[in-house]
Amino acid sequence: MDYSKEDEKLINDAYNDLLLSCTKICKNDEDWKFIKRAFFLAKEAHQGVRRRSGEPYLLHPIAVAKIAVEEIGLGVKSVVAALLHDVVEDTEYTVEDIERIFGTKIATMVDGLTKMSGVFNADTSAQAEYFRKVLLTLSDDVRVILIKIADRLHNMRTLGYMPRNKQIKITGETIHLFAPLAYRLGLYPIKSELEDLCMKYRFPEEYENISRKIAESESERQAYIDRFCAPIIETLDKNNIKYEISGRIKSIYSIWTKMQRKQIPFEEIYDLFAVRIVFQAVPFPSEKTQCWQIYSSITDIYAPKPDRLRDWISMPKANGYEALHSTVMGPDGKWVEVQVRTQRMEEIAERGFAAHWKYKKATLSQSDDAFDNWLSKIRDALNSPTENAVEFLDNFRLSLYTSEIAVFTPKGEQRRLPFGATALDFAYDIHTKIGNKAIGAKINHKIEPITKHIKSGDQIEIITADNAKPKAEWLDIVTTTKAKQAITSFLKRERQNNIEHGQAVFEEQLARYNVSINGRVLRKVLAAYGCNNKDELYSKIGAGIIVLDNLDKILKSNSASKILKFWKLWRDSDNTDTDEEQDNGRSEISQGDDQFVIATCCNPLPGDSVVGFKDPTTGKIFVHKSTCNELNRLASLFGKNIIKDQIKWSQHKAVSYLSTIELRGIDRMGLLLEITHIVSDDFSINIREVSIRSHDGIFEGILSIYVQDADALNALMDKFRHVKGIESVKRGAESKEE
């Protein structure tokens, strides 16, 4: 069906708006023709197709192209690829057609975007494996990932037209992967908007509540910013510095997460904004010196908080971010964060990778910076993938958001590692062979175990031994993707070697008794040694865990079949659900219902907002809090298994849940008595355990109680907040008890 005149007007207006944005990147007529050709091909390919909103589909690729050029700062080729990004997937055009019309580079980019579109439609581990393959484009041509982020941003901006279950799936993917990826690529505004949009659709009431309170306090906040900035402006003007100064409000999502983390109301969030100074640097002295001079001027006016100084100029973040952050004491005794950066630093902070690369070409001294090192590590990880693609994807995500530390080799070479890294992570960062042979470390010339956590500024020397080798427990020690993959790869090779050696030993032993391998013999031996399969048997024989000194007795014994029968019954006893039980479609969580499993990662209580996840192997529904981080991970990997209809708690309240409340405040006589009186007398709630610890007039306590639902718990917590001396009341972990 052709578009109407109104549709054509919408398309032409959007296209002309895109062309206006492209004036800054088109250098000649060929560039304009290139974009025009892509537009008309996309228009023809998507003719008559509409989005869920009812608007012409073509408006989507035009919007993605505009985000690419306006908000990310990409060039002509990226605009062309963005206009064509859905053509191969959704129409009859092929990658070969695109290559013939637009050339190899555009065809490669469109092919990468087409593959990426299928990532989140595949099943389980295949989905993660597909994503791993697509990440190869990150090291090959980062523009593909950047355009995909632009695509996701526009989809999030129009998410309101999608059904609820799709919203949960898409927001799960976004918060789990796309927002961290945007952060790592330096796209702070996009990262913040993605997070805010996720919150808007997942938690609309909380989003609107915070938005309203921000708007209500705007005039008061602006008056304070003006008062705070006035003496700084006077000083900067006096020093003839060309600058822009502004107060930036924190994102709604970051405010909400802080409220959740500290369990405090909006009114107790005091650092709602930061003051940013962006100045035009002069050729001399250096940018770094000029930033410190402005910082010095500010601290002459306001006293700084020493432990809140962040120097990301001397040591930029891995995504290229540079700035000087300081927290100072402003008027009325309020702490205010001040950010100082040059216009170049501002562009990198706003547009990330694209701006970073532009400045890098002009600055040879940045040729081996942290951004390149991170990309190099991604290449290494992709070229030596683990067997488990889901695990790879989780490890990759962890590498996106982690804070970093800077440590040094014995010769003074600087290395960057994630916060929480160990000496073993450092060993693998130097070289896989060093990690595999590591037995200890000298940290600041002092001998320490290889498991020792390292911190910024440490100088580390790894101690190795030729007979050392990785152990399985190392996987619980290391934090970096490179280390995990190297250890997994070694253990996998060793297991394979053990299997081959064990099989040879087993066959040799059988030959001594003139017995050949068959199903009956294997079943006897597996049962006798408690192994699930022959690979496990061979591996344990090869590793020396199983010694075949009693093999002849096992082969002659008739009891092995009885052992096998018991072993199978015992092994299968935990998986007795029938298909009928798994698929009965009930939507109420009730006592004794084996279909539902309360997720231990977040332990929701009746009354909590919950979302169901149907386990693809057991068919059981795991009930998570709607705020659960693990739910976001599952939604990003197994989106179709999110329960379509919102599940609800049963009204039956015969189940008690063991819940904990964490208390903190100023200690005083009779406080414990008052706490127990409120629980037992005012609320008639049973107490299981009370633990109170006092030090220097400050007390910390954990109260374990039995409650029926979240309402009862919240009411009790509200009562505690009004008790004299109690400063902090938080909900701890819960578990169910009949």
Residue found under tokens 């996840």? 613
Beta pairing class for 324-329 and 273-279 = unpaired
Residue 141 is among the residues annotated as catalytic for this protein:
no
Cis peptide before 283 (omega within 30 of 0): no
Q: How much is the CA Rg of the chain, to the nearest whole Å?
A: 30
Q: Identify the H or E element spanning 583.
A: none
Active-site residue (options: 89, 404, 577, 667)? 89
Residue type at 523 in one-letter notation: R
Beta bridge partners of 246: 276
Tokens at residue 439, please? 């037995």
Q: Give CA–CA dist 320/316, Å, rounded.
A: 6
* C-alpha distance across the termini of the chain, in Å: 61
Residue 337 is among the residues annotated as catalytic for this protein:
no
Q: Give CA–CA dist 612/621, Å, rounded.
A: 6
Compute the C-alpha angle 391/393/399, nearest 5°.
105
Residue type at 176 in one-letter notation: H
Tokens at residue 682, please? 């005012």
E-assigned strand segments in 226-305: 243-249, 273-279
Active-site residue (options: 17, 31, 70, 90)? 90
68: DSSP letter: I
Sign of the torsion angle spanned by Cα atoms 237, 238, 242, 248: negative
The tally of CA atoms less than 13 A away on the side-chain side of residue 105 is 8
The tally of CA atoms less than 13 A away on the side-chain side of residue 422 is 20
Tokens at residue 559, please? 């009891």
Residue type at 534 in one-letter notation: K
Q: Give CA–CA dist 449/438, Å, rounded.
A: 10
User: Which residues does the annotation mark as catalytic?
Assistant: 89-90
